[in-house]
Structure 1
Amino acid sequence: MNDRSAYLARARSFNSHLVMRLHEGIKHSSLFAQQLRACREMWMRNARAAYWAQNPTKGHH
């Protein structure tokens, strides 16, 4: 019984640690996703501009 309660306490602390890490990871990943989205939009804009510069006649009907 004592081993079991010790195991449960350890498991509970480990779970809370995991949850904390998960929340930190979610915070960081959402920030990372925002940066990634901004980079991708910028890249798409640049790529589109470069494409139109190379192919000025396409799509201008």
Structure 2
Amino acid sequence: MDGQTRKNIYAGVTVDIVLKADQKTGKLTRGVVKDILTNSQTHPRGIKVRLTDGQIGRVQQILK
């Protein structure tokens, strides 16, 4: 699943995000969602989330 739709993302799901510092390289960071920070239902660059370890980035992929 892609990370552009808010309804697909919830606390506890494992995701790959791109951190702000890694946007140019596209390096992905894997983690578990703690909070959803984007209020809109969709976002073209991915829904912004905070992981359980405190890192913040935009969801690129949702893992099952």
Whether TM exceeds 0.5 here: the answer is no
TM-score range, shorter chain: under 0.3
**Which structure exhibits the higher relative contact order, with contacts defined as CA atoms closer than 8 Å and separated by 6 or more residues?**
2
Q: Which has the higher strand share?
A: 2
Q: Which has the higher helix share?
A: 1
